[in-house]
Amino acid sequence: MQKLYSFQKSKSDTLKPKESTIEFLLSYSKALSVMKYKKLEFDTLLN
């Protein structure tokens, strides 16, 4: 059991997401709207 938890991943691995993933996240963030009313927050997704 000790060997299973002692392995550390190298920190030099960089993530390379697909272009479609980046486009999806950008379009989602552009469509997301957060409205605040008193102490409440309302999240709406505008299409």
Q: For 1-47, how does the pLDDT look when each residue is reduced to its tens digit (9 = 90+)?
A: 556 666 666 665 677 889 999 999 998 888 889 999 999 999 998 87
37 found inside a domain: yes
Answer yes or no: is 44 within a domain.
Answer: yes
Question: How many domains does the chain contain in total?
Answer: 1
Is the pTM higher than 0.75? The answer reads no
Burial class (CB in 10 A: 0-12, 13-18, 19+), 42: exposed
Supply the DSSP string of the chain, one letter for each residue: -HHHHH----TTPPP---HHHHHHHHHHHHHEEEEEETTEEEEEE--
Residue 45 lies in a domain: yes
